Structure 1
Amino acid sequence: MNRRTLLKTFAALSATPFSTQLFAAPATQQRFLLVFLRGAYDASNVVIPTSSSFYYESRPNIAIAKPDADPHAALVLNADWGLHPALRDTIYPLFQAGEAAFIPFAGTHDLSRSHFETQDSIEMGQDLGGSRNFQSGFLNRLAAQLNAGSAMSFTDQLPIIMRGDTKVANVGLLKAGKNSLDDRQSKIIAQMYGNTKLESQVENGFAVRGEVVQNMKAEDAARQTMNVTAGANNDGNRDAISSKGFELEAKRIGKMMRDKYALGFIDIGGWDTHVNQGAATGVLANKLEELGRGLAAYKTEMGSMWKNTTVVVISEFGRTFRENGKRGTDHGHGSAYWVLGGGVKGGKVVGEQIALTSASLFQNRDYPVLNEYRAVFGGLFARAYGLNSKQLDSIFAGVPGLDLGLL
């Protein structure tokens, strides 16, 4: 390999969408996957306040009808809440089986309504009023407490939520099979780092890449038939994948987490629906259908490990309770979180709740946040991993966990 080729090879190595860290088998049998919907999804049309007449007054064009025999009507969760019909065949069966629950009025107290600022705030999981460390994400701090050493971010770049003292791998599944390094070049680079401090990291990095690429080769033909692109050019996507093709990505994630990784993170973009959002059908409904199929595929791929798996779906904030003049919704505040898993005590809508009226809206426009996200996650982590108050404080300083009885 001459100097020019060597420099090109190093450039290719630095551009590969995975880190040079690989860890041993998980120290815990529990699996946790966080799914981040970037762009702020409209929780009010997913976990629907069907008992609120104010909801129907506020959304004359985009409201989801109250539950009835119409296939476009909301699916019954309880007397007050319904689920978007696009999730009828995927998430609703999990809810009926007690493997899914929903937490409305959830979120952060960050009031910037900026996609990027709020995403950063949530991923750091730190006090809004104190000094902030962008190199310390709350899933990284969780990995440190678990001594798991088996965390993976299924993203091109390592997100804030996975940054920290514990080394975490990342792999962009959309691009992992496009790396320009061949086996010969990989061996040459590995030999160059022989007998150095970086030897094991380089070897393990190539092992991650090799494993992912090998798994993807068998799927190339299927992928050719799908219109899989990066996230739509909406605000707040941060190069997250699109919901299109998420089903295939979720299968790949399931294979890797089933056998190797205890903690996982994936983000999906395109949820910023300012214009023509749709109701039971349309833009949001299509994305929800794709998301639901992906999550159902993940469950299938996890197999017997599903009983030890928890999946949480969140977004940076909710959207305005009232529809706007373009039959869409704008940046809001409170949202609704999903909790899925084989060990989840689901089939219910949990957390602090209030009747939705004009007077109960936050700043006369949004869901209030009644279930603070760090408290929600802290409660789940305590239940899933048996963490004590001191351990939880190292993840979310000064925030006691909120036990919602889901695990």
Structure 2
Amino acid sequence: MTFSPSLLSRRRLLQGLAAAPLAGAAGRVLATPAGQDARLLLVFLRGAYDCCNFLVPTASDFYYQSRPSIAIARPGQAGGALALDAQWGLHPVLADSLMPLWQRGQASFIPFAGTEDLSRSHFETQDGIELGQPLQGRRDYGSGFLNRLAGVLGAGPVQEVAPIAFTDQLPLALRGQTRVGNMGLAANGRQALGPRQSEAIAAMYQGGALQAPVAEGFALRDEVQRSLQAEMQAASRDAMSAKGFELVARRMARLMRDRYDLGFVDVGGWDTHVDQGGSTGVLANRLNDLGRGLAAFSEEMGEAAWRDTVVVVISEFGRTFRENGNKGTDHGHGTVYWVLGGGLSAQAGGRIVGEQQALTAGTLFQNRDWPVLNEYRAVLGGLFQRLYGLSPAQVAQVFPGGAAARDLRLI
């Protein structure tokens, strides 16, 4: 591991040393032309969550005919959906987490969203989304769309902000020319470098210009590790917090509030082929944990930072509109994206946005799935234009060969 004073600022050095396993500690700093304090967190739900029981099409009789065992009842009924408007409802377990954000105009949902990939393969579609490259032609697995976004932002005026992956391994979305650190916050807190290795590295810079920054970097790393250990010990009294997403989300919020402005995290376990459940059950439990975690993230950010933060929740694809013979759902196509943040626009906050259509037997894609009407690269490109002030040419660098950015006026 080497550090170059010409490439690495003091703050970047501290960030790199704090981020176990010290992957990609060096790199360029970023800039946010439209909003100098803008923060973006991408949450990837791996396994393809069932959007139909998250954003419930309560006005569709066909939905209730198609899901005799797992449908979420209409608003006002026992275990019924939380009414969002005349057409849509929200899963009832989200009453205390996402629903308050919706009511404050800090949540928006984009149905009929997704990719044009028709493989219905978890891995192929996940890779394709993270890479953000055209479906046709050779894929460059060393260039993810979030890394290209970081590169575009880094080409502007210098500001000391940085990307981070809250994962054990660097995801495809953040691989590329701009070097990015990763930190698995759900891990057991074991340090990547032991005391002897730390002492050896510190000795390398003894008496030099970087002596103080290196020492501070290791001190910050130790502080983070102590904090994680203390939280884990406290959480052992509460099994749900120990196993759930909420504790991780609060850790992410503190780091993004103070140190990082572009984040990625993935949450697994959404493949519900068997016994998915309805208002209660497997999917309900996972949505509850996720919703509480995202609500905790917004709370931990604090009001000022939350106003400058956008959280986007995506998944590789949706699931079949009809339930299967095992009271679950199978791999589908279109899904629902979530956009959360304290600065959502009046046109988007507390609203269902994007192109939509009625869900009937005649409008299903291939007679089984939600269609994709809001292609993900166009949607994210439009968001990036507003969040960072990117030009069409810059959006094309992030999503080469993609459709023109689609401005849903999210912020």
Q: TM-score band (shorter)?
A: 0.7 to 0.9
Match of 2:230 in 1: 218
Unaligned runs of 5+ in 1: 1-12, 230-242
Match of 1:375 in 2: 378
Distance 1:257 1:180, change over 3 A: closer
Match of 2:69 in 1: 61
Say if 2:168 is the partner of 1:156.
yes
> 1:252, 1:180 → 2: CA distance?
18
Is this contact kept in 1: 2:46–2:269, CA < 8 A? yes
Residues 96-145 of structure 1 deviation map (CA, whole Å, 9 limit, x = unaligned): 11100000000001111111110000000010012211111111111111
Say if 2:407 is the partner of 1:403.
yes
SS at match of 1:314: strand
Distance 1:258 1:275, change over 3 A: same
Matched letter for residue 201 of structure 2 = I
Is this contact kept in 1: 2:22–2:192, CA < 8 A? no
Match of 1:338 in 2: 338
Match of 1:135 in 2: 142
Distance 1:195 1:333, change over 3 A: farther
Map residues 268-287 of structure 1 onto 2, 5 A cutoff. 268-287=267-286
Structure 1 position 184, deviation (Å): 3.8
Matched letter for residue 31 of structure 1 = R
Match of 2:9 in 1: none
Match of 1:251 in 2: 250
SS at match of 2:148: helix
Match of 2:322 in 1: 322
Structure 1 position 18, deviation (Å): 4.2
Percent of pairs identical after alignment? Answer: 59
Structure 1 position 19, deviation (Å): 1.4
Match of 1:239 in 2: none
Is this contact kept in 2: 1:31–1:308, CA < 8 A? yes
Is this contact kept in 1: 2:113–2:336, CA < 8 A? yes
TM-score by length of 2: 0.86
Structure 1 position 192, deviation (Å): 4.8
Matched letter for residue 354 of structure 2 = G
Structure 1 position 16, deviation (Å): 5.4
Match of 1:115 in 2: 122
Residues 325-371 of structure 1 deviation map (CA, whole Å, 9 limit, x = unaligned): 00000011100000000001211001111111111111110001000
> 1:21, 1:194 → 2: CA distance?
20
Matched letter for residue 126 of structure 2 = Q
Structure 1 position 391, deviation (Å): 0.7
SS at match of 1:62: coil
Aligned length: 379
> 2:26, 2:325 → 1: CA distance?
50
Structure 1 position 76, deviation (Å): 1.0
Structure 1 position 215, deviation (Å): 2.8
Is this contact kept in 2: 1:31–1:262, CA < 8 A? yes
Match of 2:13 in 1: none
SS at match of 1:249: helix
Matched letter for residue 384 of structure 1 = L
Is this contact kept in 1: 2:310–2:340, CA < 8 A? yes
> 1:93, 1:371 → 2: CA distance?
26
Match of 2:10 in 1: none
Residues 147-166 of structure 1 deviation map (CA, whole Å, 9 limit, x = unaligned): 26500000000000000111
> 2:144, 2:45 → 1: CA distance?
17
> 1:397, 1:174 → 2: CA distance?
33
Match of 1:90 in 2: 97
Is this contact kept in 2: 1:17–1:155, CA < 8 A? no
Is this contact kept in 1: 2:21–2:192, CA < 8 A? no
Residues 2-34 of structure 1 deviation map (CA, whole Å, 9 limit, x = unaligned): xxxxxxxxxxx9x95441416798643001001
> 1:25, 1:135 → 2: CA distance?
20
> 2:319, 2:212 → 1: CA distance?
46
Unaligned runs of 5+ in 2: 1-16
Is this contact kept in 2: 1:20–1:205, CA < 8 A? no
Higher mean C-alpha displacement, 149-158 vs 21-30: 21-30
Is this contact kept in 2: 1:101–1:340, CA < 8 A? yes
Match of 1:124 in 2: 131
Is this contact kept in 2: 1:141–1:394, CA < 8 A? yes
Match of 1:266 in 2: 265
**CA RMSD of the aligned region, Å?**
2.7
Is this contact kept in 2: 1:43–1:318, CA < 8 A? yes
Distance 1:77 1:263, change over 3 A: same
TM-score by length of 1: 0.87
SS at match of 1:255: helix
Is this contact kept in 2: 1:20–1:201, CA < 8 A? no
Structure 1 position 279, deviation (Å): 0.2
